[in-house]
Structure 1
Amino acid sequence: MSNEDITLTAGDAEATVQPGNGGRIGGLRVGGLELLRKGERFGCFPMVPWCGRIREGRFRDGATVHQMPLNSPPHAIHGTARDGAWHTARVSADEAVITYDLVDPWPYRGRVTQVVALTEDSLTLTMSVETYESSFPAQIGWHPWFHRNLGGPGAQDVRLDFTPAWQEERGDDHLPTGHRVDPKPGPWDDCFGMPDGVDVTLTWPGQLELRVTSPEKWVVVYDEQEAAVCVEPQTGPPDGLNTHPHLVTPLEPLEATTTWSWRRA
């Protein structure tokens, strides 16, 4: 099948899936409100096979050190799959399955599968990384750009509510130092630990409440830009290929899921 844009609908919810643009969700409309910042680099993109920054673009697998391109100098950021074209495996009115084969500069062969499932009041994203050859470390995450303000008469900026158990102390290089500290007030470009699972509520007063949940224990919150706020569930912290590696093996894929559920005001 082609990698043209896919439109999913359920009730008054509509999601646009863009296999040809990094497998991202290009838009999410609920009752006529567009929740995601539009644009080639925005929407909600998959972070795979790693999340956030890798220190100086280098990660170790056993005795071998691999160097990734420094696309956010001095680091490598957000994986490689967002830069490639994904392929459409299956589509129905409210669900799409898309795949991406890992290629250079990632040094291992593997396949990423993402399932996008829409209902009238939720969007669920599920991703897996599998290999039939060499085992390798990997991470999975999602990077949505939610509009700070949904527009309209008297519209107010979004409010973020969550109660993390800790915050990863951030060094001058924007990477976790390895120390956990008590959560600090924003603005943030920070990773938080939620050992019972990610649970973050975004409220646009008088318009919509959206809850981002995931069984994963890590979430990066980025709200330093005026236009949007990002709530990013992921399987490990930034630089996790080095500090919290998940090994993908022929017998054990890496799998993750997140659900966004909403209620209209």
Structure 2
Amino acid sequence: MALEAASPKDDAQAPLPGGRLHWLRAGVLEVALAPEAGGRIAQIRYDGVDWLVGEQEGGAAAIGWGCYPMVPWAGRIRQGRFAFDGKAYALPRNFGGHAIHGVGFSRPWHIDSLGADSAALSLELPEDKYWPFGGRATQVIRVLADSLELCLAVQAGDQAMPAVLGWHPWFRKPDQVLFSPSAMYPRDGEGIAALPCIAPTPGPWDDCFINEAQVTLVCGEQQLRLRADTDHWVVYDGAAQATCVEPQTGPPDGFTLVPNHLQPGQRLQLTFELEWESDDLG
């Protein structure tokens, strides 16, 4: 996903200030939570090393820093248009003529609970032009001595709705990415995922992959292993300062390519685990 400023005419997608940071800690792992800035993690620091692109480094766009939840869709919706239950919908377009990353990253989240090493947040999804279905999103952040556990969920309200969830971490450029996907979605002339899937091609990437193995990032003497309970991962490594490795429950434009129908009250969940190892710590 190439970094591009959100439209200043679109209030729901305008950049949010980082707001107050809430630090969660366990051992040498420190996590700065910014609920007011789209419920995102502003920074992850392990044994003194910062792993995420910070707010000041990410430029003007709200999509360009930290690690934020993508809900109720992940990646682009082609031209903001999709069909659901036989009805056509059009969402505001805020990124290169498309709708991107849902509504959660640009809205303040409510703190439901906050402890020394964990937090729970929630967001009531709108019923308006930005998202006509309503529903509720929740996330739980748990910090352990050498790992971070993130759980994101969305629950339909009184009406059925489509849903794709994802996490979007902007990792500072690692020395190495160890990644062995089995397939990838090709991108068409609009730069959006299409079917059928093909064999993975060499990078640089801005692509969605089928991958069931852990992904490892190497930065100096530290290694970060990424695991999630999904087989869809988006990798963007075209930026000089960052690499994004994003677990998602479906591909970009998933409402059309791989529709997922939530009945009223039904819940969809995504768990993302980040685990560190440092040569210094043995």
TM-score, normalised by the number of residues in structure 1: 0.92
On the 8 A contact 1:198/1:218 being kept in 2, the answer is no
- Equivalent in 253, 256, 264 of residue 239 of structure 1: 253
Matched residue of 2:65: which SS? coil
Q: Is the 8 A contact 1:198 1:233 kept in 2?
A: no
Displacement of 1:92: 1.1
Secondary structure of the residue that 2:88 maps to in structure 1? strand
Instruction: Indicate yes or no: 2:228 matched with 1:203.
Output: no
How many aligned residue pairs are there? 252
* Among 37, 46, 61, the residue aligned to 2:53: 37
Q: Does the Cα contact within 8 Å between 2:151 and 2:270 map onto a contact in 1?
A: yes
Report matched runs for 1:4-15 at 5 Å: 4-15=20-31
Amino acid at match of 1:143: H
Q: Residues of 1 paired with 2:261 and 2:153: CA distance?
A: 12
Which of 85, 88, 107 lines up with 1:84 in the alignment? 107
Displacement, 1:252?
A: 2.3
Identity %: 39
Q: What secondary structure sits across from 1:115 in the alignment? A: strand
Q: Which amino acid aligns with 1:115?
A: V
Deviations 1:152-199, CA, capped at 9 Å, x for gaps: xxxxx52011111101111121112212111111100000002xx352
Q: CA deviation at 1:133?
A: 0.3
| CA displacement at 1:12 relative to structure 2 | 1.1
Contact kept, 8 Å, 1:5 with 1:16, in 2: the verdict is yes
* 1:163-174 paired onto structure 2 within 5 Å: 163-174=180-191
Deviates more, 1:88-97 or 1:4-13: 4-13
Quick check: 1:15–1:29 contact (8 Å CA) kept in 2? yes
Flag structure 2 segments of 5+ consecutive residues without an equivalent.
Answer: 1-18, 56-61
Secondary structure of the equivalent of 2:68?
A: strand
Query: CA–CA distance in 2 between the matches of 1:198 and 1:44?
Result: 21
Please list the CA deviations of residues 40-94 of structure 1 after superposition, one character each: whole Å capped at 9, or x if unmatched. 6400011111010101101111121111111112211111110101000001111
Query: Counterpart of 1:152?
Result: none
Q: Give the AA of the match of 2:199.
A: D
Query: Structure 1: 5+ residue runs without aligned partners?
Result: 149-156
| Other-structure match for 2:244 | 230
Structure with more strand by fraction: 1
Which amino acid letter does the alignment assign opposite residue 260 of structure 1? L
> Counterpart in 1 of 2:193?
176
- Matched residue, 1:112: 137
Q: CA deviation at 1:35?
A: 0.4
